[in-house]
Amino acid sequence: MQENTFNFFKNEKKIDDKMILITGGAGFIGSNFIRFMRNKYPNYKIINFDKLTYAGNLNNVSLMEDNPDYVFMKGDVANQKDVKNVFEEFNPDYVIHFAAESHVDRSILNPDVFLQTNIIGTQYLLNFSRLNNVKKFIFISTDEVYGSIDKDHCTEESPICPNNYYSVSKAAADNLVKVSYQTHGQRINIVRCCNNYGQFQFPEKFIPLMISNAINNKDLPIYGDGNYFRDWLHVDDNCRAIDLVLHKGRIGEIYNVGGNNEWRNIDLAEYLLELIGKPKSLLSYIMDRPSHDYRYAVNFNKIRSELCWHPLIDFKIGIKQTVDWYLSHQDWLNEIISGEYLKYYDLNYKNRDAQE
Ligand code: NAD
Ligand code: TDX
């Protein structure tokens, strides 16, 4: 442990209370998921285990601070002692594993930490979950494990074919989780979701980066010709999917989660400029991301038919709310876009000559 910042729950655990260990709960999806669970299941006990890397921000969960059924514990999933500690202290019934190094561009600059956190960290959590008879371990995987596809949609049976250090590390972890089921009958689910958007997303990712730069009248860096496709889903819809998998997902199963909402990068950047009221002259075409996946798209018929899930938030409404959230949370944004962020920004974007 680098620093001991946790307190025990202020309410005693009753026999039928669910104790849920959430890793990466100070990041984008994890923090939204914690808020979602707090609202839907106020009696569940939530442990937020997070290393607080550059992407982890306790302001994202400040609403939870005084909640008697919530604790934060600082720790590293890739440190065996930290993982042992959290299991010994809390003996969780369920584990939902969000923690990861999550940004493709950073994985190109520094792959090693992706292998440590995403692969080794997942194996440690699997080991301790098995030892402690955890009732279900949910791995938050990604549609990127299927690699790039030109047309159609990947089903859960499609081959895994990752093309960058981030997705290779997620694919390895995803396979480890599958193997734990095949070998030990470990009670797991895997969720492979498309690109999420919404409040509290770190402004290195496409949508918040474009919004943040537009607000600050900075160029919007478009990789290559901007002719790449991503499928966007509101984070609250993803939280609903994970909740259903937690309560109703069949043990050992993988579930794709998609948005049915594909956008070309350049079209989306232009749409964001329109919403914020900034000119298209801010668009700046720069050198492409190496090994850039052209398109991700998942078939999510399985979760639709088995768990009755489908996206509920209309993109035009969700993205408008998201833009408004960033406009009204510029303090949150400004705190991030200094220090480490500026160094990363320089490293990734400086000297990336414009494309012809
Ligand atoms: P994020 O980068 O916003 O948050 C990651 C969190 O994990 C941070 O709080 C960070 O401090 C924590 N963390 C990192 N390394 C850690 C370690 N070694 N030990 C403990 N905590 C650590 O990521 P996100 O966008 O919220 O993604 C969450 C999960 O969802 C990831 O597993 C990611 O692969 C997956 N996913 C994300 C998307 C997306 O669009 N954002 C889509 C599909 C899947
Ligand atoms: O500055 C940029 N310019 C640009 O054109 C950035 C940051 C991105 N892009 C492009 C690259 C992609 O085609 O926008 C698209 C989206 O990029 P990211 O937001 O970096 O997401 P992506 O690479 O698609 O990966 C995301 O989706 C799957 C998440 O970061 C992963 O965590 C998730 O698993």
Residue whose token pair is 């109703």: 248
**Predicted local distance difference test score (pLDDT) of residue 12:** 74
Q: Which ligand is nearest to the CA of 230?
A: 2
**Predicted local distance difference test score (pLDDT) of residue 354:** 63
Q: What predicted TM-score, i.e. pTM, was given to this entire model?
A: 0.97
From the number of C-beta atoms within 10 Å of its C-beta (0-12, 13-18, 19+), residue 317 rates as: exposed
**Residues carrying an active site annotation:** 143-144, 166
* 102/88 Cα distance (integer angstroms): 28
Going 313 to 319 to 322 to 328, the CA torsion angle's sign is negative
Residues 6+ apart with CB under 8 A from 3: 74
**Predicted local distance difference test score (pLDDT) of residue 318:** 98
Provide the CB-side half-sphere exposure for 241 (13 A, CA). 34
Ligand 1, atom 1: closest residue by C-alpha: 27
CA-wise closest residue to 69 among 36, 51, 47: 47
**Predicted local distance difference test score (pLDDT) of residue 10:** 72
Which residues on adjacent β-strands are paired with residue 283? 220
**Predicted local distance difference test score (pLDDT) of residue 8:** 72
Q: Which ligand is nearest to the CA of 284?
A: 2
| Per-residue pLDDT of the chain in tens (356 residues, 90 and over written 9) | 334 456 678 777 766 679 999 999 999 999 999 999 999 999 999 999 999 999 999 999 999 988 999 999 999 999 999 999 999 999 999 999 999 999 999 999 999 999 999 999 999 999 999 999 999 999 999 999 999 999 999 999 999 999 999 999 999 999 999 999 999 999 999 999 999 999 999 999 999 999 999 999 999 999 999 999 999 999 999 999 999 999 999 999 999 999 999 999 999 999 999 999 999 999 999 999 999 999 999 999 999 999 999 999 999 999 999 999 999 999 999 999 999 999 999 999 998 876 55
CATH no. of 5-201+231-262+295-314: 3.40.50.720
Find the Cα–Cα–Cα–Cα dihedral 59, 63, 64, 68, rounded to 10°: 140
Q: Which DSSP string corresponds to 262-323?
A: EEEHHHHHHHHHHHHT--GGGEEEEPPPTT---B--B--HHHHHHH-----S-HHHHHHHHH
Instruction: Please give the distance, rounded to the nearest whole angstrom, from the Cα atom of residue 293 to the centre of ligand 2.
Output: 9
Instruction: Please give the distance, rounded to the nearest whole angstrom, from the Cα atom of residue 248 to the centre of ligand 1.
Output: 24
Q: Which helix (H) or strand (E) holds 187?
A: none
Answer yes or no: is the C-beta of 205 below 6 A from any ligand 2 atom.
Answer: yes
Provide the CB-side half-sphere exposure for 144 (13 A, CA). 22
Report the relative pairing of strands 262-264 and 188-193 from DSSP bridges.
Answer: unpaired
CB 193 within 8 A of CB 338: no
Can you tell me which atom of ligand 1 is nearest the CA of 52? 11
